[in-house]
Structure 1
Amino acid sequence: MKSILIVDDEDNIRLSLEGILEDEGFRTSFAATGEACLKIIQSEDPDLVLLDIWMPGIDGMETLKRIKQMRPQQLVIMMSGHGSIETAVKATRLGAYDFIEKPLSLEKVLLSIQNAMKIGQLVAENKALKEKIAHDYQMIGNSAAIDQLKQQIKLAAPSSGWVLINGENGTGKELVARAIHQQSNRADKPFIEINCAAIPEELIESELFGHEKGAFTGATAARRGKFDQANGGTLFLDEIGDMSLKTQAKILRILQEHKFDRVGGNRTIEVDVRVIAATNKNLQEQIRTGEFREDLFFRLNVLPFQVPPLRNRRDDIPLLCQHFLHFFCGKESRERKIISPEALKALANYDWPGNVRELKNLIERLVIMTPGKTIDIADLPLGINQNNGQHKQHDLDTFDMPSSYREAKEVFEKQFLENKLNENSWNISKTAEEIGLERSNLHRKIKQYQIEPN
């Protein structure tokens, strides 16, 4: 039952409201003064307060102000027999949900209460959703590398500086972006993300800036873009290294002028957006090859972050394993599983080329596919099981060392993709999901390196 605190110095009003509200299924409590109301709110948690304005002692307006100081989310409906527009406006500015004039109308009272309860439910659901998102996107680990990263986030988040996050695929760049937003002054405003690598070139301008009706074939209605949606909050541009030079130029203009035009529009829209960009590419190398604008790089790289790969924070692997075990056992409604010390040691010593995302995917697979309660070393994939975490080094006398960093990177990338494709029997979609790469990008890499099934 929802509870309503009735605050009025007139006995007949309190008794009348008590009968009406209890008939409607509400639980009621009472106070005759503002002071008594505040004492009740300190010890109880009513879903709604019906508050009279004219009372002995502190009046309803002062009581409302103190209620909002104690509990900003408390729903309050004001009542008065001497109401005016000025009084109603003042009450609303102080945080009242509604203002009802006396003599009270049963229909108006019940309608206002029902609407207020709906708002309260939405607020509670929104709070629960934000808490769930914060939990789902929390950064797990207490290694030196993660502690240093958390400290950097704590320092940078309250500022308005733009951020550029670098890191390999699967390291958790989005987690860093969300942590910066949640600890910033924009935490109560939107966090809008866009994967620059996942949107076709011909549509990315529409996604970012929006479009007017009829701007192109299929534009049957006007649409707000991501910059517009993020106004007042944070826009996360993931994989910005995959953005075309043409779009980079438009992004640069927005960052400089804080305004843009929708596709097919002629009206300039001003926005206040904090941009956080992320990439797994070496943007300075792309600048040298003409694939990325140097001026955009310097504009974004005000606060640079480097997310460490999982192999550089091995102390966090047991914590991550326990976190993912708990999450997936709950999600899949499975009995709580444990990982044997031998299996945990092998997991901790594996190099994890796919980083935290690869570990998360593996734990999900083990929760589903391991029949017993204990995940043992025999349950691990052969690549982890056979090596048992031993880091192998190439014999430099027989290994044909690449002549440049870029060539070495390409050699590794080709071998990595070949191994993953073979592991997944050349299932492109499954492989792309497992390694955290868009399906279209994986096709492009296969073609680039001329990879063929064995």
Structure 2
Amino acid sequence: MRITSMISAFASQASSSSATFLPPHVRPVAKAIHTPDRSLTARWVPINRSFIALTKIILRSAQEKFGLANLAITLRCVTQQGYKHLILVNDDQDVQITAAGCIEEIIISTDMPMSPACERLDARNAITLPVDLNQQRLGYLVATLSPASENGVEAGELAQQLAAVTEEFIGVIKRYQTRYRAIYVYGDQCYWIGNSQALRQLDQQITRLAGYSKPVLVNGNKGSGKIIAARALHCERHSDMVPFIESNCAEWQAGAATSILQSLYYYANKGTLFLRNIDKLPESEYPALQAFINHAVNQALANLRRPPVDLIMSTSGRDTSLTIPHQQWLSEISTPLDLPDLNDRTADIRDLINFFARVQSRQQEVQLSENIWQLLEKTTWQQNVYDLRRLIEQAASTTGGKLINDPVIEQCLAQHHHI
């Protein structure tokens, strides 16, 4: 069971003799999220519509790039309670669970729907590469040459190029592991919805940043997913259940930044400290923030190892009230993670709308014409996903849980002053 507890940032364990204590009526400034039961950690990756869609995007891109007749991937999966999962065996317990399920081989291809093992590809006229993760064979990438290119491409050269495709697919599996680990820790919608190019690039950037010890500054406008980004980076860095401490600097008591930071750092030991809205700190509090972060960075550099606490920061939006010296300091001590606006990832709007409709009611259906879908994709969303979610919430309320159709969306768009 997930346990979410609020902690005071002025606990006595903070070992600060000058610590200031908050009065009882002031709400705590930090949130601690713990998951004591590690057996809940997601070890398998569900082979759902999102996974299949993203896999096909990768396969089709490579197919067009290399001029292939077909590109497919075969995967071993287990079916339990009607759902297929990619087998990722970690220990003996997983082996026993896998053995109890129905193991089968499936094919995801560029020219056919997801197929069972009985519809195998003809591997005799194809180039086949293994797909391995942590020394475990997950399946094979099978490329079939087109007649026009069979005589012009060296098999060895093509195999080397296709190896990059298998690496990209392995990256997808790792990101799905991170995604579903986050679901177990944080609950629903703890990750971005969609498979757009912008999100795929963002996932790849988070994977790269996970290997760095430098503080990360998350930049994005309201509704772009700054909290999701921080949680994703935390889950990417830590496979164990270690603290993720989130604190909103806008809620801090005036004059108490030093003692707050000391206490937050104590509670985030071996985990992550996420400082939100650092641009909302009063000017007088910035020396304390700078001293704290500079000390943490210098400590990590001196020890030449990962710091005891990973630092992630965010601002309230791209246009902040930070002074130029503060902006320069942040650029020197942190690595930026820039989040796309919803208008930069319009390919995700259909997935988002269907997701938010299901959140409102399992019986809620969305049936829109192509003209309305295109209208939604061209709409300017000032507060990004936050605005889109409110629109669907209003649409669901208008229909009473029934069908969301063109007139309903047009009415809600007009009321939101988008058109």
Which TM-score applies when normalising by structure 1?
A: 0.46
Higher strand content, 1 or 2 = 2
When you count helix as a share of all residues, which structure comes out higher? 1
Please give the TM-score of this superposition, normalised by the length of structure 2. 0.49
Structure of greater Rg: 1
**Higher RCO, 1 vs 2 (CA within 8 Å, ≥6 residues apart):** 2
